[in-house]
Amino acid sequence: MTDADTLIPAFDGDTLVPAPKLAVHIEGRRHMAVSVFVVRGGQVLIQRRALGKYHTPGLWANTCCTHPHWGEDPADCAVRRLAQELGITGLYPAHRDRVEYRAEVGGGMVEHEVVDIFVAAAPEGLAVAPNPEEVMDTAWVDLHDLTARTQRRPGDYTPWLRIYLEHHAEAIFGAVKRGC
Protein backbone atom coordinates (compact mmCIF):
# COMPACT_ATOMS: atom_id res chain seq x y z
CA MET A 1 0.00 0.00 0.00
CA THR A 2 1.42 3.41 -0.96
CA ASP A 3 1.04 6.55 1.13
CA ALA A 4 -1.63 7.75 -1.33
CA ASP A 5 -3.61 4.54 -0.71
CA THR A 6 -3.46 4.83 3.10
CA LEU A 7 -6.97 4.66 4.49
CA ILE A 8 -7.95 7.74 6.47
CA PRO A 9 -11.21 8.70 8.19
CA ALA A 10 -13.44 10.54 5.70
CA PHE A 11 -17.05 11.57 6.01
CA ASP A 12 -19.91 9.95 4.16
CA GLY A 13 -22.68 12.28 5.31
CA ASP A 14 -22.19 12.38 9.08
CA THR A 15 -20.54 8.96 9.27
CA LEU A 16 -16.78 8.35 9.21
CA VAL A 17 -15.66 5.71 6.72
CA PRO A 18 -12.20 4.57 5.60
CA ALA A 19 -11.11 6.16 2.31
CA PRO A 20 -7.84 6.37 0.31
CA LYS A 21 -5.97 9.57 1.21
CA LEU A 22 -5.21 10.76 -2.33
CA ALA A 23 -8.77 10.13 -3.53
CA VAL A 24 -10.13 12.18 -0.62
CA HIS A 25 -7.99 15.16 -1.68
CA ILE A 26 -8.82 14.85 -5.37
CA GLU A 27 -12.55 14.65 -4.57
CA GLY A 28 -12.36 17.41 -1.94
CA ARG A 29 -14.13 15.17 0.58
CA ARG A 30 -14.41 16.22 4.21
CA HIS A 31 -11.98 14.20 6.30
CA MET A 32 -10.13 14.05 9.62
CA ALA A 33 -6.66 15.50 10.12
CA VAL A 34 -4.14 16.31 12.85
CA SER A 35 -1.93 19.40 13.16
CA VAL A 36 0.81 19.86 15.74
CA PHE A 37 2.55 23.02 16.91
CA VAL A 38 5.72 22.66 18.97
CA VAL A 39 6.40 25.87 20.90
CA ARG A 40 9.28 27.17 23.00
CA GLY A 41 8.52 30.42 24.79
CA GLY A 42 7.10 32.76 22.15
CA GLN A 43 8.54 30.74 19.28
CA VAL A 44 6.99 28.02 17.14
CA LEU A 45 8.81 25.35 15.17
CA ILE A 46 7.76 25.43 11.52
CA GLN A 47 8.75 23.17 8.65
CA ARG A 48 9.20 23.63 4.92
CA ARG A 49 7.53 20.74 3.12
CA ALA A 50 9.72 18.52 0.93
CA LEU A 51 9.57 19.11 -2.81
CA GLY A 52 8.35 15.55 -3.35
CA LYS A 53 5.07 16.10 -1.45
CA TYR A 54 2.03 15.63 -3.71
CA HIS A 55 0.54 18.96 -2.68
CA THR A 56 1.99 22.23 -1.38
CA PRO A 57 5.63 21.17 -1.91
CA GLY A 58 8.23 23.66 -0.72
CA LEU A 59 5.77 25.69 1.35
CA TRP A 60 6.21 26.47 5.04
CA ALA A 61 3.73 24.82 7.41
CA ASN A 62 3.19 24.28 11.12
CA THR A 63 5.44 21.83 12.96
CA CYS A 64 3.71 18.82 11.44
CA CYS A 65 0.38 17.82 10.03
CA THR A 66 -1.13 14.62 8.72
CA HIS A 67 -4.16 12.39 8.66
CA PRO A 68 -4.82 9.72 11.26
CA HIS A 69 -4.86 6.21 9.86
CA TRP A 70 -8.27 4.56 9.91
CA GLY A 71 -8.93 3.65 13.57
CA GLU A 72 -5.97 5.64 14.93
CA ASP A 73 -6.47 7.97 17.89
CA PRO A 74 -5.62 11.61 16.97
CA ALA A 75 -3.26 12.00 19.96
CA ASP A 76 -1.37 8.85 18.97
CA CYS A 77 -1.24 10.17 15.41
CA ALA A 78 0.30 13.45 16.60
CA VAL A 79 3.07 11.62 18.46
CA ARG A 80 3.66 9.28 15.50
CA ARG A 81 4.03 12.10 12.98
CA LEU A 82 6.35 14.17 15.16
CA ALA A 83 8.69 11.17 15.11
CA GLN A 84 8.20 10.31 11.42
CA GLU A 85 8.51 13.84 10.01
CA LEU A 86 10.96 15.46 12.42
CA GLY A 87 12.54 12.73 14.53
CA ILE A 88 11.02 14.34 17.64
CA THR A 89 10.32 11.91 20.46
CA GLY A 90 9.40 12.28 24.10
CA LEU A 91 6.77 15.00 23.55
CA TYR A 92 3.11 14.36 24.24
CA PRO A 93 1.12 17.23 22.72
CA ALA A 94 -2.02 18.51 24.41
CA HIS A 95 -5.25 18.80 22.45
CA ARG A 96 -6.17 22.47 21.99
CA ASP A 97 -9.03 22.65 19.53
CA ARG A 98 -10.92 21.05 16.67
CA VAL A 99 -11.44 23.26 13.63
CA GLU A 100 -12.77 22.79 10.14
CA TYR A 101 -11.55 24.46 6.97
CA ARG A 102 -11.64 24.01 3.22
CA ALA A 103 -8.80 25.18 0.98
CA GLU A 104 -7.49 24.50 -2.50
CA VAL A 105 -3.95 23.16 -2.25
CA GLY A 106 -2.95 22.99 -5.93
CA GLY A 107 -2.99 20.28 -8.56
CA GLY A 108 -6.80 20.22 -8.48
CA MET A 109 -6.74 19.02 -4.88
CA VAL A 110 -8.74 20.30 -1.93
CA GLU A 111 -8.18 19.95 1.80
CA HIS A 112 -11.59 19.86 3.50
CA GLU A 113 -10.45 18.96 6.96
CA VAL A 114 -11.82 18.54 10.42
CA VAL A 115 -8.55 19.04 12.31
CA ASP A 116 -7.59 18.09 15.83
CA ILE A 117 -4.94 20.64 16.81
CA PHE A 118 -2.26 19.79 19.36
CA VAL A 119 0.42 21.90 21.04
CA ALA A 120 3.57 20.66 22.76
CA ALA A 121 6.10 22.62 24.80
CA ALA A 122 9.67 21.98 23.66
CA PRO A 123 12.53 21.83 26.11
CA GLU A 124 15.72 23.77 25.33
CA GLY A 125 17.95 21.70 23.08
CA LEU A 126 15.10 19.66 21.59
CA ALA A 127 16.62 17.32 18.99
CA VAL A 128 15.09 17.77 15.54
CA ALA A 129 16.09 15.39 12.72
CA PRO A 130 13.87 16.06 9.68
CA ASN A 131 12.99 13.18 7.37
CA PRO A 132 14.08 14.52 3.93
CA GLU A 133 11.14 12.77 2.22
CA GLU A 134 8.80 14.90 4.35
CA VAL A 135 10.68 18.05 5.35
CA MET A 136 13.31 20.14 3.57
CA ASP A 137 13.92 22.72 6.30
CA THR A 138 12.85 23.78 9.78
CA ALA A 139 12.98 27.07 11.66
CA TRP A 140 12.11 28.42 15.09
CA VAL A 141 10.11 31.59 14.46
CA ASP A 142 8.61 34.17 16.80
CA LEU A 143 4.84 33.68 16.64
CA HIS A 144 4.16 37.37 16.03
CA ASP A 145 6.77 37.45 13.25
CA LEU A 146 5.27 34.34 11.69
CA THR A 147 1.85 35.96 11.53
CA ALA A 148 3.35 39.05 9.86
CA ARG A 149 5.34 36.91 7.41
CA THR A 150 2.29 34.94 6.32
CA GLN A 151 0.46 38.20 5.65
CA ARG A 152 3.36 39.71 3.66
CA ARG A 153 4.19 36.61 1.61
CA PRO A 154 1.15 34.29 1.74
CA GLY A 155 2.38 32.24 -1.22
CA ASP A 156 5.31 30.95 0.87
CA TYR A 157 3.00 29.32 3.42
CA THR A 158 0.44 26.53 3.31
CA PRO A 159 -3.21 27.58 3.24
CA TRP A 160 -3.91 25.80 6.52
CA LEU A 161 -1.14 27.59 8.40
CA ARG A 162 -2.51 30.94 7.22
CA ILE A 163 -6.03 29.89 8.26
CA TYR A 164 -4.85 28.75 11.70
CA LEU A 165 -3.01 32.02 12.34
CA GLU A 166 -5.79 34.25 11.02
CA HIS A 167 -8.82 32.52 12.51
CA HIS A 168 -7.75 30.18 15.31
CA ALA A 169 -4.59 31.59 16.91
CA GLU A 170 -6.22 32.42 20.24
CA ALA A 171 -7.55 28.87 20.67
CA ILE A 172 -4.23 27.34 19.63
CA PHE A 173 -1.70 29.63 21.29
CA GLY A 174 -3.66 31.49 23.98
CA ALA A 175 -1.33 33.64 26.09
CA VAL A 176 1.57 33.32 23.61
CA LYS A 177 -0.50 35.04 20.93
CA ARG A 178 -1.64 37.78 23.31
CA GLY A 179 1.98 38.54 24.10
CA CYS A 180 1.73 37.44 27.75
The residues assigned a catalytic role are 65, 113
3-class state of residue 103 by DSSP: strand
3-class state of residue 64 by DSSP: strand
DSSP-assigned letter for residue 93: P
Distance CA 120, CA 130 (A): 17
Q: How long is the chain? A: 180
| Beta pairing partners, 117 | 35, 97
Contact 106, 56 (CB under 8 A): yes
DSSP-assigned letter for residue 56: S
Phi-psi category of residue 51: left, alpha or beta, with phi > 0 → left and psi -120 to 50 → alpha: alpha
Taken in order 50, 162, 165, 69, the sign of the CA dihedral is: negative
